Amino acid sequence: MPTNVYNFGAGPATLPKIVIDKIANRLGNFTDGMSIMEISHRSSAFKDFASQSEKNLRSLLQIDDSYAVLFLQGGATQQFSMVPMNLANQGTVDYLITGAWSKKAADYAAYHSRLNIVADSLDSNYKDVSDPINWTHSKDAEYFYYCANETIHGLEIHQIPSVSVPIVSDMSSTLCTRPIDIEKYSLIFAGAQKNLGIAGLTIVIVKKDLIIGKAKDLPPLMRFDSHHNDKSMLNTSPVFSWYVAGLVFEWILEQGGLDAMSKLNENKASLIYNYIDNSTLYQNHVNPKFRSWVNIPFTMTQDGLEKKFLKMSSDAGFKNLKGHRTVGGMRASVYNAMPIEAITKLITFMEDFENINS
């Protein structure tokens, strides 16, 4: 085994080494000789941890009291249903489709609302977003939905679209990669296993006035207001996943918060894109305006080298560089926890590979 292994997988994704060490050291004894895997979500030790983790997330993203912060299960995919069920009430909803995840979210929304597709990037094979002048908004949308970062296609929307209805955003692969203007959003959700921890936990940040007293006909577990009323402990919470996310929030704060993350991520992304753009072997086809900071897909200008590249890179310790099965090619996912030295080493590896093969 190579001494340094870097996991470039898109999710579940790499965690900060410090967080893994902390978990390992404390695993057997979170409180009173009991492991974090054994204790009740209602124990005071966990409740204290949970409330501190919410405080930390609020401070990282500057979330004020007009928002509820929910720690739920069901993955980001469950939000594809919960969002229209709670916010649309069979009304019209506007979806911007820019890749696989917003496409899926729109398909799910069609079960619970009148779906209007504002624009669809399919015609550019999800490599570009059309000019907002050409978007077709509906007159009476309950909300406007977009995916801030398309994890599979490596397409990121760096500026909040300017619309006049509440904005909902899937930030599964981008939440906490940089500061955001939280007040511009009515609802943000993110599965934790990309940038915030492990699978089993989904964060929902939602304007309280959008959820309180609404959606009375829905089952309790599908309602934002019931989760909010029970402090995300309506049923047994995913204690271990929540714990890991809490440690990740602490780690981000210790690193200098989201300004520090933003600098690091922008720097990592520009190193890779600069290298790819100047190379004759590798290429990235996403419109540079919409290139993702954290999921960087690339292909080769020569046929027949991909398998060799994936095998050699894996042997050298660069794991999971294979692109998503639906798009092929390669993809480097470089979330907060991916250190800059992993990027410089990867680039050196790619250079060597290019030199041998051209």
Ligand X SMILES: *Cc1c(COP(=O)(O)O)cnc(C)c1O
62: left (phi over 0), alpha (psi -120 to 50) or beta: left
Q: What number of chain residues touch ligand X (CB under 6 A)? A: 12
Closest CB to ligand X among 103 and 275? 103
How far from chain centre, in Å, is Cα 209?
25
Q: Considering 94, 127, 170, 225, which one is annotated as catalytic?
A: 170
Helix 340-357 to helix 257-278 angle (10° resolution) is: 10
Q: How far is the CB of 150 from ligand X (least distance, A)?
A: 6
Q: How far is CA 252 from CA 72, 174, 221, 316, in A?
A: 21, 14, 30, 29
Closest CB to ligand X among 228 and 331? 331
Active site residue 101: yes
Place of tokens 């912060």: 69
Near ligand X by CB under 6 A: residue from 170, 178, 272, 332: 170
Asked if 192 and 201 count as a contact pair (C-beta separation under 8 A), the reply is: yes
Active site residue 242: no
Near ligand X by CB under 6 A: residue from 147, 175, 204, 343: 147
Closest CB to ligand X among 30 and 146? 146
Q: Is 172 in the site for ligand X (CB under 6 A)?
A: yes
What whole-number distance in Å separates Cα of residue 196 and Cα of residue 252?
10
CA angle 162, 166, 168 (to 5 degrees): 90
DSSP 198: -
Near ligand X by CB under 6 A: residue from 43, 77, 81, 255: 77
Q: Considering 127, 194, 268, 322, which one is annotated as catalytic?
A: 194
Q: Could you give phi then psi for residue 299, rounded to 5 degrees? A: -125, 180
Closest CB to ligand X among 53 and 172? 172
Write out the binding residues for ligand X, residues 181-200 only, by CB under 6 A. Answer: 191, 194
- Can you give the binding site for ligand X, defined by CB under 6 A? 11, 75-77, 101, 147, 151, 170, 172-173, 191, 194
Catalytic residues, by residue number, are 101, 170, 194
